[in-house]
Amino acid sequence: MAKRTSEQAEETRRAIFDAARQLFETEGYSGASIASIVAAAGTTKGALFHHFASKEALFLEVWKSLQLEMDADTRTAAAAMRSKDDPYAAFLAGTRAYFKWAATPAYQQIVLIDGRAVMGLARWQENDDRLGRNNVEQGVRYLARKGLISEDGVVPLSVILLNALNGAGFALTRKDPGITEDTLFDAFEKLLRGLR
């Protein structure tokens, strides 16, 4: 078998991508070998390296897809609550939506665990900023405009809040008593509303 139509090629690429996303989730980045990915996708290494520059590039694409899905989700959740009378409502709605994502095995393994190790510190920050932190910062800035928090602390506060959210996702995996989506959300809400 050699050249397929460009439609079929897209199918092949997609099969590799899907298999990779699945295996990166269940086996982790280093546990998911290229051989296992192409086997699951029903193709060969030739196809993989034709469509993706490297294992890392493939991972990055999977990473981005997850982040974009999450981003869209939280944005719409936040937007839906924007015109409420409670100025915190939009932010908190986004938080809820993010918790849902952060509690999924795929998001944890790929984004929260392997992501930073694979991308390295610099690239991770660069990418993470454009999505997660920007989102949080937007919410925080809104609260600042409403006069609920001080203007100058927006950036560091955003950093802290974003990471608090990330960590909360992790905690959800463990069956630790006292840690549920609701209790975590409550704690976060209290923190946020406590800001003056």
Partner DNA sequence: AGTTTTACATACCATTGGTATGATAAATCT
Partner DNA sequence: AGATTTATCATACCAATGGTATGTAAAACT
109 lies in the binding site for DNA (CB under 7 A): no
**Which residue is associated with the tokens 């454009």?**
130
Q: Which of 37, 38, 92, 184 binds a second copy (CB under 8 A)?
A: 184
- CA 126 distance to own-chain centroid: 14
Q: Closest Cα partner for 139 from 164, 112, 157?
A: 157
For position 161 contacting a second copy by CB under 8 A, the verdict is yes
Q: Which does 183 bind (CB under 5 to 8 A by kind): a second copy, DNA, none?
A: a second copy
Question: Please, which of residues 96-155 interact with a second copy by CB under 8 A?
Answer: 108-109, 112-114, 116-118, 120-121, 124-125, 153-155
Distance between CA atoms of 179 and 183, rounded to whole angstroms?
6
| Residues 42-81 as x/- pattern, contact with DNA by CB under 7 A | -xxxxx-xxx--xxx-------------------------
- Tokens describing residue 24: 């990166």
Q: How many residues bind DNA (CB under 7 A)?
A: 28
Count the neighbouring beta carbons within 10 Å of the beta carbon of residue 151: 9
Residue 136 binds what, of DNA, a second copy, none (CB under 5 to 8 Å, by partner type)? none
Distance in Å, CB of 196 to a second copy, minimum = 6
- List the alpha helices (DSSP H) in the chain: 6-27, 34-41, 45-51, 55-80, 89-102, 105-106, 115-128, 134-145, 154-173, 181-194
Residues in touch with DNA (CB under 7 A): 1-9, 12-13, 30, 32-36, 43-47, 49-51, 54-56
